[in-house]
Amino acid sequence: MKYRQLQQVIAFSLTNQRKSGCMSYAPDGKIMTDEKDLLLLKEKGLRGEGVTREEADRLAVYPDLDKLCDAAGEICRRWQGREVDSCSIVSARSGRCGEDCKWCAQASRHHTGCVTYNFLDTDDVLKAAEANSSAGIRRFSLVTSGRTVTKKDLEKFCEVFRELSEKTDLYLCASMGLLEEEEMQMLRDAGVKRYHCNMETSSKVFPTLCTTHTPEDKIRTIGYARKCGMEVCSGGIIGMGESLADRLDFAFELAALDVDSVPINILNPIPGTPLENTPLISEEDIIRTVALFRFIMPKKSLRFAISFYTSPSESELQSRLLEKSAVVGYGVADGSEHIAHKHPVHTPRHDPEHRLMTQTHTSPCKAERLLRHDEAEECHSAYYILLRYE
């Protein structure tokens, strides 16, 4: 769907800018309207150079969303190509988390009714891995709830990773909280090549959403992963009450960390969490944000994740993102039906009769193909729009 009705676009832009505080930091109160300026910044991205903060501020209030996204899309195709970096995550431990992240269903203090379990059976993990490998999924990750995992538990997970390394050709990833360097090295030695640790939001906003750990804790974990020779996947969630200016702060902080992959999640306000009444952000706001992230990080793999988003027109949103926002395709990123029936994903609205997406999404798709996911509308599993096939 195109938004060529310029008056509507400008009306949306001005309304959204007032809500987000965007107007307050437009240079000299002026909105960038000269297409030549946009083309100059696009050329900068095509050279692999990220925009400055002042330039990002100007792009944030550019009134023609179509042209902004067309430019971001060219930058994306220049550096990411037209194929999908498909990945799949399996919740290897769910619930009982002692942290106080306001967005999270797994925090024990929030009483969301999420499913809890300590370990998935190794056989179940292997079945999920084999199903994903057969479907053409390239990356496979085990994700655990909680601040961290004990060394004893980590040894069990490492055994699983070693078995996966021996029996599949999957690129293995892990997300297991705030690990120390020795623990990170254990994962690396077991075959894990990429570690996931979301910064979640800007360092200014983070303390308003979580008090049990800090951005500095996460940065230290990321440093340990790098020191052990791993790639790093780190992004966050938008729509938690932050302004567009806060999102730009966040994007520049991620750019400074020089992470390899940046998931952009959309909040699904889950009943029982402190953010349960947070209004959903608009689709246009999502699209603009993704485009701005591309200008700021032209060479990075941006992963658009709707794991926290519940829109009745989710397929249409993904279609628009594929068309407009520096996005070239998407793949599944949560488990398989082998896991779905035994261990539903952690949201009270999960319907166990819905299958997760492994069978719906097969081999990495071409850029222009939009894969549908009607069977998983209520699963709220983490499925990503992916921007790179490496």
Q: In this predicted structure, what is the pLDDT of residue 208?
A: 97
Q: In this predicted structure, what is the pLDDT of residue 153?
A: 92
Q: In this predicted structure, what is the pLDDT of residue 378?
A: 28
Q: In this predicted structure, what is the pLDDT of residue 344?
A: 28
Report pTM: 0.77
Q: In this predicted structure, what is the pLDDT of residue 317?
A: 55
Q: In this predicted structure, what is the pLDDT of residue 221?
A: 97
What does the buried/exposed string (b/e) look like for 240-250 if buried means 16 or more CB atoms within 10 Å of the residue's CB? bebbbbbbbbb
| pLDDT tens sequence for the chain (390 residues) | 333 332 333 333 333 443 444 433 454 455 665 789 999 999 999 999 999 999 999 999 999 999 999 999 999 999 988 776 778 888 888 888 888 899 898 888 888 888 888 888 888 999 989 988 888 888 999 999 889 999 999 999 999 999 999 999 999 999 999 999 999 999 999 999 999 999 999 999 999 999 999 999 999 999 999 999 999 999 999 999 999 999 999 999 999 999 999 999 899 898 999 999 999 999 889 999 999 999 999 999 888 764 444 444 554 555 555 554 444 323 333 333 323 222 222 322 332 222 222 222 222 222 222 222 332 232 222 222 323 222
Task: List, in order, residues 6 or more apart from 23 with CB less than 8 Å away.
Answer: 14, 17, 29, 61
CB atoms within 10 A of CB 307: 21
Q: In this predicted structure, what is the pLDDT of residue 8?
A: 35
Please give the C-alpha separations between residue 55 and each of 40, 50, 73, 177, 234, in angstroms, as whole numbers: 11, 10, 18, 35, 24
Q: In this predicted structure, what is the pLDDT of residue 72?
A: 94
Q: In this predicted structure, what is the pLDDT of residue 320?
A: 55
- Phi-psi bin for 90: left (phi > 0), alpha (psi -120 to 50), beta? beta
Q: Measure CA 252 to chain center.
A: 16
CA proximity to 9, closest of 247, 244, 287: 287
Helices (H), the chain: 6-20, 35-46, 53-60, 65-80, 122-134, 151-167, 181-189, 215-227, 244-257, 283-296, 314-324, 337-340
